[in-house]
Chain A
Amino acid sequence: MLFLSIALMYACSKNETELLPTQVDITFTVPANFPAPTYNFENNKLTNAGFALGRKLFYEARLSADKSISCGSCHQQFAAFANLDHKVSHGVNNCQGKRNSPPLFNLAWQKGYFWDGGVKNIETVPLNAIGDVCEMSTDIQSIITFLKNTPPYPNLFKQAFGATEINSQLVLKSFAQFTAVLVSGNAKYDQVSRKENGATFTPGEQAGYLLFKEKCSSCHKEPFFTDFSYRSNGLDLTSTDEGRAHITGVETDMGTFRVPTLRNIEYTGPYMHDGRFYSLDEVLEHYNSGVEPAENLDPLLKNGIALSATEQKQIKLFLITLTDHDFIKNTLYSEQ
């Protein structure tokens, strides 16, 4: 891996035509069953050096106040960049945040970030984690000072952007070269829908898919398994977290959260904005019997979603076809 990344940088500082045969060129590829993305690198030209720098920053714990927490601490690749086993995020000084770390992939298609959609551009997302006293508890100025004074960063910025000056814009753009490239679109479900490699669902998965389309997909819409809207699925009668209303100030948004993607759901637990459910069984039982008549409960869930034991099993079989092993194991995205 070390060799590969050295090769990457070497190749970049030279000429793209001299790429070694083993060299993987970073590309942003839109899967055939996905629409056009919202973030398309128009103002942030994707390069091998830019991506490698973004990845290095993502795993750089020295950016945090006590040098213990990197982005990768809360966003772990084996959990599709969610935070395994953590109900809510866990930052510097063992501080507990109030929300569950969402997985990171297909971010280039989102229009809002965070459970409440408060951040509107992928480039400005890291500012929140950097500044949050419960996350990295530092500020962008300290990070710039650190990067300016810590080899090999000055060189890496030069290779990535041709820039001798490290500023907040370049730091944020390089983070985005890593985070926006994370695309998960090669699960069994995708291969079946693209009719690739003769992939087919088992009868159980197929039954689950039909149930899913009938009962879940109005919110968890294909192909992202979210329609990116903000809704309440009735977790609590009164939500302690304002959710979307924190951003809009609108009463009817109180206690609503972005419908989360269900891709890689097998590995992204615990579930919900506060990580209250540890298993998919608990989630399905919530829809079956636990939906509370919350103030802004989505009308679709007025009567819950009755699911027999067999139906729950079938839906689970289907949900597991959303796991993208290529993505979770892609060493390009791992700490080098």
Chain B
Amino acid sequence: MKKSHYLIAIFCSIIFISSCKKNEDAIATDTKGQFSIEFEHQVNGTALALNTTTYKNAKNEDFKISVFKYYVSNIKLSKADGTSVLLPESYFLIDESKSDSKLITLQDVPTGDYTKIEYTIGVDYARNFAGAQTGALDPINGMFWTWNSGYIFVKIEGSSPLSTAVDHALTFHIGGVTDPNNTIRKFSADINTANPLRVRADSKPKMHFIVNAANLFTGTTDVSFATTNFTMGGDKSVIVADNYAKGMFRLDHIHN
């Protein structure tokens, strides 16, 4: 009984793997290359500095940032002819306090000229409910809610004199994957067809994104820290997610 289960499992995964290969072959040549993405953190045009600098939100309210981290996952590249490739197991935790984390490298990417990049800001539905994970998704990273299991997609903490919370704290933990408070958001950027992302076996192109942390608090709805200074999922998280989906990431340039 058990043995036959394993056999079926192995058999299925063989079929699965081989069918994956075929699909990829259809859209790309079989050579692979790599590229990297750099996330440069800013607040309204100036470099983000944790704890020290005072910034202003869209309502002209002062605030400081002490923590800024977020997930980028399910990176997908498309070509001008409309074909695309989803990079498997692409889960990254970008953390302002860890400079290594702000430069990610994607390996085994089918070579080609890509004119569009898409990714999920956060973690897809399935992985929120999957069992124990490792790597970027390891609960050790402090981005997993244990009482309402699922990942915190974007975390920003800090303070504002206007905040009514203890110590004037700002606590924005954005996550949740079920309606009406689903906060999974996708981001996509078209790449200038004159300078596409050229993935080659022998080169290492780099994409450079500007990430504006102030965008959590503006874009669709301007957030006032006097009334909104704490969220851990729920309707306020949705407001913030709609904001950052709109303007937090901007593709600045590509070095091919």
Contact = CB atoms under 8 A, between A and B. Distances in A.
Interface of A: 42-44, 114, 118-124, 127-128, 130-132, 140-141, 144, 167-169, 171-173, 176, 246-250
B105 interface: no
B131 A249 contact: no
Contacts of A169: 132-134, 138
B140 A121 contact: no
Contacts of A246: 148
Contact of A118 (B128, B131, B132, B148): B148
A248 B131 contact: no
30 contacts: A43-B131, A44-B131, A114-B147, A118-B147, A118-B148, A119-B146, A119-B148, A120-B128, A120-B149, A120-B150, A121-B130, A123-B131, A123-B132, A124-B131, A124-B132, A124-B139, A124-B149, A128-B147, A130-B146, A132-B146, A167-B140, A168-B140, A171-B132, A172-B131, A173-B131, A173-B132, A246-B148, A249-B180, A249-B233, A250-B180
Interface in B113-138: 128-134, 138
Nearest to B134: A169
A173 to B, nearest CB: 6
Interface of B: 9, 128-134, 138-140, 144, 146-150, 178, 180-181, 233-235
B129 A121 contact: yes
A108 to B, nearest CB: 12
B132 A168 contact: yes
Nearest to A139: B140
Given A114-B147, A124-B144, A124-B146, 19 more contacts: A118-B149, A119-B147, A119-B149, A120-B128, A120-B129, A120-B150, A121-B130, A121-B149, A123-B132, A124-B131, A124-B139, A127-B144, A128-B147, A130-B146, A132-B146, A144-B140, A168-B139, A169-B134, A246-B148
Q: Counting chain A CB atoms within 10 Å of each CB, which of B9, B128, B146 scores highest?
A: B146
Contacts of B233: 249
B132 A141 contact: no
A127 B147 CA distance: 9
Chain B contact surface mostly: loop
B128 to A, nearest CB: 8
Contacts of B178: 248
Given A122-B131, A168-B132, A42 B139 contact: no
Contacts of B134: 167-169
Contacts of B9: 42
A249 B139 contact: no
Contact of A141 (B140, B146, B150, B180): B140
A249 B132 contact: no
A155 B178 CA distance: 41
A141 B129 CA distance: 21
B146 A127 contact: yes
A307 B132 CA distance: 46
Contacts of A141: 140
A118 B144 CA distance: 13
A220 B126 CA distance: 29
B139 A127 contact: yes
Contacts of A121: 129-131, 149
Contacts of B139: 124, 127, 140, 168
A128 B148 CA distance: 9
Contact of A168 (B128, B138, B149): B138
A172 B132 contact: yes
Contacts of B180: 249-250
Contacts of A42: 9
Contacts of A122: 131
Q: Counting chain A CB atoms within 10 Å of each CB, which of B128, B149, B234 scores highest?
A: B149
A278 B207 CA distance: 64
Nearest to A39: B131
